[in-house]
Amino acid sequence: MTGGALVLVATPIGNLGDLTPRAIEALRTADVIAAEDTRRTRTLLTHVGIPAAGRLRAVHAHNEQESADALVELVRDGKRVAYATDAGMPGVSDPGARLVRACLDAGLAVEVVPGASAVLTALVLSGLPTDRFAFEGFLPRKGKQRTARLESIARDDRTTVIFESPHRVGATLVDLEQACGSERPVAVARELTKLHEEVWHGTLAEAAEWTERKGEHVIVLGAAPARVEAVDDDEIERRLHALLDDGLSTKDASARVAAELGVPKRAAYERATQLRTRRR
């Protein structure tokens, strides 16, 4: 296509050989190349023999809003502005969404050159159902927002894809087990498309042993089990009794029951606390 446009260019998530011929052409012919990290994009350009020729502009999470106006003007003037983040599709857990919105609001053309996707790669490799899935990106690090998001994921009847850093993946898997129950199936992928690619499959109980390992991680979590429309109070108590008898703590027993029977976590915890008090 000709004329001014913002062109979102998907870049490899690990293996540089995954850069498509169309992406190479988009980068080669762009008037301006906006990049999340100009050093990484320069390395990519060098790999495929494309000279930067003074076209690189840094556009990252901290300056995207400020840069949007300048890039909109370039597109309005008929320039083709290619935008590439460090890996994958711009705008997906990466900068880019504000640029797209600014161009669309200005009535300007936006094009996409698709390519490698960590979300879809991990989802397919997980072996979990792919007909319906939710992408959660990076979870909030702490506080009420994180708790609310975990509780929402625990109830979701779709496969869920989550991004996580190597330093926090262990803690996130533990939090998911507490929210969703120990038997929920999960896959953990890291170093996707790279030499040391690894995809681990198991349950959240087993995943709690996951230790910090190199590379960005993608967690693919199985859907919540089918809910029982109406759960009898006696059934909840029987299950809590059994788990408490097995030595689980009040917190762990209530989390397991909430995940298994589809009852509110707070209600299950209150019931478990009452049962524990009666036993004393």
Say how far apart CA 151 and CA 165 lie, in whole Å: 21
Q: Is the pLDDT of residue 2 over 80?
A: no
Burial code of 66-95, b = ≥16 C-beta within 10 A, e = fewer?
ebbeebbebbeeebbbbbbbbbbbbbbbbb
Is the domain of 112 the same as that of 123? no
How many alpha carbons fall within 13 Å on the CB side of residue 78?
Answer: 2
141 CB burial (10 A radius; 0-12, 13-18, 19+): exposed
Instruction: Give the DSSP letter of residue 109.
Output: -
Q: Are residues 107 and 127 in the same domain?
A: no
Give this prediction's pTM.
0.79
What average pLDDT score do residues 117-145 get?
Answer: 96
Q: Which domain holds residue 260?
A: 233-279
Query: Would you state the pLDDT for residue 230?
Result: 61
Give the mean model confidence (pLDDT) for residues 143-151. Answer: 93
pLDDT tens-digit profile of 35-67?
Answer: 999 999 999 999 999 999 899 999 998 998 889
Helix (H, G, I), strand (E, B) or coil at 11: strand
Binning pLDDT at 50, 70 and 90, where does residue 23 land? very high
Whether 103 and 158 map to the same domain: the answer is no
**pLDDT (mean) for 83-90:** 95
The answer as to whether 86 is a domain residue is yes
- Give yes or no: residues 153 and 206 share one domain: yes
For residue 169, what are the CA distances in angstroms to 147, 205, 214, 242? 16, 14, 11, 31
pLDDT at 256 over 90: no
The 3-state DSSP class for residue 69 equals helix
CA distances from 193 to 115, 188, 197 (A): 13, 14, 6
Q: Enter the tokens of residue 22.
A: 């169309």
Residues paired with residue 81 on neighbouring β-strands, in sequence order: 6, 32
Q: What is the pLDDT of residue 26?
A: 97
Q: How confident is the model at residue 263 (pLDDT cuts 50, 70, 90)?
A: confident
The CATH number given to whatever domain includes residue 215 is: 3.30.950.10
For residue 34, give the 3-state DSSP assignment: strand
* Residue whose entry in the numeric block shows the structure tokens 């994009």: 41
Q: Does residue 56 lie in a domain region?
A: yes
The lowest-confidence range among 84-93, 194-203, 226-235 is 226-235
Per-residue model confidence (pLDDT) at position 172: 95
- Is residue 92 domain-shared with residue 123, that is, in the same domain? no
What is the model's pLDDT at position 187?
97
- The predicted-structure confidence for 199-240, as pLDDT tens digits, reads as follows 999 999 999 888 778 888 999 999 998 764 567 788 888 889
Number of domains in the chain: 3
pLDDT digits (tens, 9 = 90+) for 100-129: 999 999 999 999 999 999 999 999 999 999
Percent of the chain predicted with pLDDT > 90: 72
